Amino acid sequence: MKVTHIQALELLDKMCEVIKHSDANDILIPAVFRATELGMFEFIDLALQARPNLMWACNSIGRNLFQLAIECRQEKVYNLIYYKLSKRQRTLIGNRIDRDNNSALHVAGMLSPLARLDNISGAALKMQRELQWFKEVENIVVSPVKESLNKEHRIPREMFTKNHKELVKEGERWMKETATSCTVVGALIITIMFAAAFTVPGGNNEETGFPIFLHKNLFMAFIVSDAISLFSSTTSVLMFLGILTSRYAEDDFLKSLPTKMIIGLSTLFISIATMMVAFSSALFIMIHEQLWIVIPMILLASVPVTLFIWMQFPLLVEMYISTYGRGIFDRKVKSRA
């Protein structure tokens, strides 16, 4: 595959040399637009190096490459063109309208192709990605364009709301179902950890009322892990309740709801892990002489933590990167010179 890729690039270089000295627009322009739809970054890069004026070409409905990259949600092509254009050129090309009077912001308000959304986990993150695109394009258009009407007599924000109505509902349902399930788990942990704090392993001294194993290191590990589990599970439940009672406006999917979900899942993971530490500590205190029982039980205690990491941690990481990571709009993208 690597050899094939290298050979394809060599062939592309030869084609671009021919393109520089020919006027075969009837073949070249459809090929460039098709490559934009498919996100063929290197093809677009070399084609624009050979013929920079292609950037201003339009397809059958009057959309240029920049608008088509937005329509197809091809962030690499978008970043490439953004990098090649000056601020003035970005304003000019971004504010052009197609035959239906759609500006780049109207195009950003259209629903992303399903193939692009299928790679994103959860309807809420899909909605977040759509908002990120809309906010990005909103930053490069002039103020009058934000209130301009298209052929359907809609401004870009109305276009976005109309096309994403079902996705908002799906995102709300996904968030509520996830929050409800996690709230049940968090509430159970709160109940268990609260009760465990007053039924310490070994019991209490009848004369003083203090725990018998108060001065043992393992007992302190039990108390500390119990407290951390209780506090983190309480925080988790509060975050999930915040999700359940949210108003679910469109802009909430950009930062507010993902942040609550990130905090809720993180603290739930901490509460489960520390609950297992508390259990293992208590077990070791009570039957530390029976290692053949204690060691397998402690190993089994790691199973729930491992399962949680396996099932939920990828979603947590994806959500964090999507909300607080570098983002899909890389301003430092470099072309292939």
Distance (Å, rounded) from C-alpha 44 to C-alpha 143? Answer: 30
Are 73 and 204 contained in the same domain?
A: no
pLDDT at 335 over 60: no
Residue 332 lies in a domain: no
In the listed set 163, 194, 211, which residue is the last one of a domain according to the structure?
Answer: 163
- Structural domain total, the chain: 2
Between 330 and 324, where is the model more confident? 324
- In the chain the beta strands, taken as DSSP E runs, fall at none
pLDDT at 333 over 60: no
- Sorting pLDDT into bands at 50, 70 and 90, what band is 306? confident
For range 91-107, the mean pLDDT: 88
Are 208 and 242 contained in the same domain?
A: yes
Predicted local confidence at residue 332, as pLDDT: 54
For range 106-127, the mean pLDDT: 86
* 146: region left, alpha or beta (phi > 0 left; psi from -120 to 50 alpha): alpha
Residue 329 lies in a domain: no
236: which 2 tokens? 């988790």
Structure letter (DSSP) for residue 110? S
Are 124 and 222 contained in the same domain?
A: no
Distance (Å, rounded) from C-alpha 202 to C-alpha 186? Answer: 27
Smallest CA-to-CA distance from 232 within 285, 171, 284, 278 is with 278
Predicted local confidence at residue 288, as pLDDT: 63
pLDDT at 182 over 60: yes
Are 96 and 217 contained in the same domain?
A: no
Residue 336 lies in a domain: no
Percent of the chain with pLDDT over 90: 36
Between 157 and 13, where is the model more confident? 157
Are 174 and 99 contained in the same domain?
A: no
Are 229 and 135 contained in the same domain?
A: no
Are 127 and 227 contained in the same domain?
A: no
The set of residues, in sequence order, having a beta carbon less than 8 Å from that of 54 and lying 6+ positions away, is: 28, 29, 32, 47, 48, 65
Give residue for tokens 């109305």: 158
pLDDT at 169 over 90: yes
pLDDT at 143 over 90: no
Instruction: Look up the CATH number of the domain holding residue 54.
Output: 1.25.40.20
Residue 87 lies in a domain: yes
Are 140 and 8 contained in the same domain?
A: yes
For range 273-284, the mean pLDDT: 85
Radius of gyration of the chain from Cα atoms? 28
pLDDT at 337 over 50: no
Distance (Å, rounded) from C-alpha 58 to C-alpha 300? Answer: 63
Distance (Å, rounded) from C-alpha 280 to C-alpha 143? Answer: 61
Are 174 and 131 contained in the same domain?
A: no
Residue 337 lies in a domain: no
94-116 core/surface letters (b: 16 or more CB in 10 A; e: else): bbbbbeeebbbbbbbbbbbeeeb
Residue 104 domain boundaries: 2-163
pLDDT at 296 over 50: yes
Between 323 and 203, where is the model more confident? 323
**Dihedral sign for Cα atoms in the order 124, 127, 133, 137:** negative
Tell me the pTM.
0.84
Residue 102 lies in a domain: yes
pLDDT at 85 over 80: yes
pLDDT at 336 over 60: no
Predicted local confidence at residue 113, as pLDDT: 83
pLDDT in tens, 11-60: 878 877 777 777 666 778 888 899 899 888 888 888 888 888 888 888 88
pLDDT at 116 over 90: no
Are 45 and 107 contained in the same domain?
A: yes
Contact 77, 41 (CB under 8 A): yes
Predicted local confidence at residue 207, as pLDDT: 66
Are 242 and 215 contained in the same domain?
A: yes
- Sorting pLDDT into bands at 50, 70 and 90, what band is 214? low
In the listed set 131, 148, 163, which residue is the last one of a domain according to the structure?
Answer: 163
pLDDT at 201 over 80: no
Predicted local confidence at residue 131, as pLDDT: 94
For range 164-191, the mean pLDDT: 93
3 state SS of 58: strand
Residue 151 lies in a domain: yes
Distance (Å, rounded) from C-alpha 181 to C-alpha 176? Answer: 9
Predicted local confidence at residue 145, as pLDDT: 87
Residue 330 lies in a domain: no
Are 201 and 130 contained in the same domain?
A: no
In the listed set 163, 179, 213, which residue is the last one of a domain according to the structure?
Answer: 163
